[in-house]
Amino acid sequence: MAMSGLPDPASKAGLRDQLSKLRALLALSMVMTESSDEAGIVELACTAVGALGDYRVAGVHLTDGGWQECRTPLPEPDSRADLEAQFAVLGSAGGVIAMVGEDWTWAYPLRSLEDDLGYLIVSADDEPQVAHQFLLRVLAQQTGIAVNNARVHERQRAGAEQLRTTNTKLAETVTALERSTAIHDRLTRAAVGGDGMAGIAEVLHDLTGLPVAVEDRRGNLQAWAGPGPPHPYPKESATSRERLFEHMHERQTPVRHQGRLVAVAGPREAALGVLALIDPDETAGAQEQVALEHAATVLSVELAHLQNLAETESRLGRDLVEELLSGADEATALARAQALGHDLNAFHRVVVIDRPGGVRNIDALCRAVQRVARVSRPDPLLAGRGREVVLLAGADEDWSRFRAAVEEEAGIVGCRVGVGGSCARPGEISRSYGQARLALRIQTAAGGRPVSEFDRLGVYQLLAESGAPGAMERFVDGWLGSLLEYDARRNADLVNTLGTFLESGGGYDPTASALSIHRSTLKYRLQRIREISGHDLSDPDTLFNLQFATRAWRTLAALRHGDH
């Protein structure tokens, strides 16, 4: 340090005082330089000003932080604005400034090698000696360097902290990715390995420790892993099920529903199934949710694959059914059926399910029939034809229960079922189909039960299989000719009224109810039947022949309908 800048001391005591203060500044500089506390550094500088002489710190002004209070209160806002204006035109070397209430005020620059940081503002009653101003300038310079070092240290510390945070997050991300990849690999191996839905459920149970349920779209249990499923398995209503799909579609993440964490397999509009963690205590966390989401994705692929296979087999099955109904070559039909895993050498019978009037989509009815038929055999053969679904059944069933199950599955009412006779060879299937359709038509004409089996038609079956339809027509004309002529001429319904009366055992109330007419109207019609036909409705033989004739009339009508 060039001593020429210092005034010559008047005495050795003055020189010792000057050197003492320089040593103090050096020690203070070392303390400030080692500090990373910017506020503490400024506080040390403010304290040191008073030790250099009868000086006061008016404040510290930092270019990026404004005024810093230092023992004395901050200037009033108006005064502060005036000072800010002076600082704006003050050079980097600092200089004298005007401050209210002070005789002398100097702004000493706080500088570092990189930047100007602000000013240390010192006031006094008189202008300090040159030597003391030098000490104040040195103090300000060391303060600036220390503040800059503290800021550099803080940036380094913040950078290091951010780096640690980033590294921690990166490590967590890598760990989560590795865990996610491991989960996906295990689930994929289960699916590719042929374990199917059950394998996926087992892996998910192993990963989460929670029971797992795989359900179809309607809530039917398809697979279970973990402690045994409840018996009977609970099934929610169709309305509640649709609300669940809507909720999952809105969230796009697994949702809690009735003590379970549930994820959908496939898009909501075409959801293929549902995967659920049984978690009534809500213990499943983020890891379990990730495992569930991966399992739902793999299950979606598995179910889509199964659906494609089922649709392909169903299409091939429909083609086979069409060929069988059309009387295809037996050898060809047997070969195609064997390729699809069906044995046509076993006994079969054709079942025709007639679509109710309110049902427009025959495909939906086909799917419902297929699901119900799978209870008896895994891969039923069926096809949609017009307004009918034709099913090739393998054995006798409770067809009334079958019909009720189809209605429940399809969500419809008014379904009618016709069952053909059994057939031992593929060549007889078309005959069974004709019998099933005839049973349906006779059922419609007679207004009987919604299920009609050809083998139980009784006299209708005999009439249908008689080889002389001309004789049947003559018999009908002999007993009902006058009534048929009257019905045709007057657009009346006497023959149907007579047939219903006889099928109802001659009871007035059941007949009137079946025809939806008043009892008095029925009595009037029966009187007209007696008058027009001349038949005695109290004679047992006459009643037998009339009942036989009305059944023959209905059989002929059904046979004629089948020819068109």
74 vs 60 pLDDT, higher one? 60
State yes or no: pLDDT of 69 exceeds 70.
Answer: no
pLDDT-derived band at 4, boundaries 50, 70, 90: very low
Residue 378's pLDDT band (cuts 50, 70, 90): confident
**Is 326-457 the same fold as 3-153?**
no
Lowest mean pLDDT segment, chosen from 245-249, 499-503, 549-553: 245-249
The stretch 91-118 carries a mean pLDDT of 84
Q: What is the mean pLDDT of residues 218-234?
A: 87
- Write down the pLDDT at residue 2: 42
- CATH number given to 326-457: 3.30.70.270
* Residue ranges of domains in the chain: 3-153, 194-309, 326-457, 467-563
Residue 404 burial (C-beta neighbours within 10 Å; 0-12, 13-18, 19+): middle
* 3-153: CATH class: alpha beta
Give CA separation, 299 vs 78, 123, 197, 265, 540, in Å: 73, 80, 7, 6, 69
pLDDT above 70 for 70: no
What whole-number percentage of the chain has pLDDT above 70?
A: 89
Residue 424 has pLDDT above 90, yes or no: no
| 255, HSE (Cβ side, Cα atoms, 13 Å) | 14
Is the pLDDT reported for residue 543 higher than 50?
Answer: yes
pLDDT exceeds 80 at position 1: no
pLDDT at 330 > cutoff 50: yes
Q: What pLDDT score does 268 carry?
A: 57
Rounded to an integer, the average pLDDT of 258-271 is 79
Residue 260 has pLDDT above 70, yes or no: yes
CATH class of 194-309: alpha beta
Which residue, among 108, 4, 115, has the nearest Cα to 48 in the 3D structure?
108
How many whole angstroms separate alpha carbon 543 and alpha carbon 553?
15
- Cα-trace Rg, the chain: 50
The pLDDT assigned to 316 comes to: 77
Average pLDDT over residues 472-494: 89
Q: For residue 402, is pLDDT > 70?
A: yes
pLDDT tens digits, residue range 173-216? 887 787 778 777 887 777 777 778 888 888 889 888 999 999 88
* pLDDT surpasses 50 at 3: no
The overall pTM is greater than 0.85? no
Region 117-138: mean pLDDT is 86
Of 459, 453, 429, whose CA–CA distance to 439 is shortest? 453
- pLDDT for position 359: 62
More confident residue, 256 or 228: 256
Whether the bond into 232 is cis, omega within 30 of 0: yes
CA–CA gap between residue 376 and residue 374 (Å, rounded):
5
Count of beta carbons in the 10 Å neighbourhood of residue 415 = 21
- Mean pLDDT is lowest, of 58-67, 108-117, 247-256, 482-491, for 58-67
Residue with token string 């059309």: 326
448 or 372: which leads in pLDDT:
372
Q: Assign 69 to helix, strand or coil.
A: coil
On the 0-12 / 13-18 / 19+ scale of CB atoms within 10 A, 158 is: exposed
User: Phi and psi dihedrals of 381, rounded to 5?
Assistant: -95, 125
Q: Identify the helix (H) or strand (E) that includes residue 547.
A: helix 540-563
**At the topology level of CATH, where does 467-563 sit?**
Arc Repressor Mutant, subunit A (1.10.10)
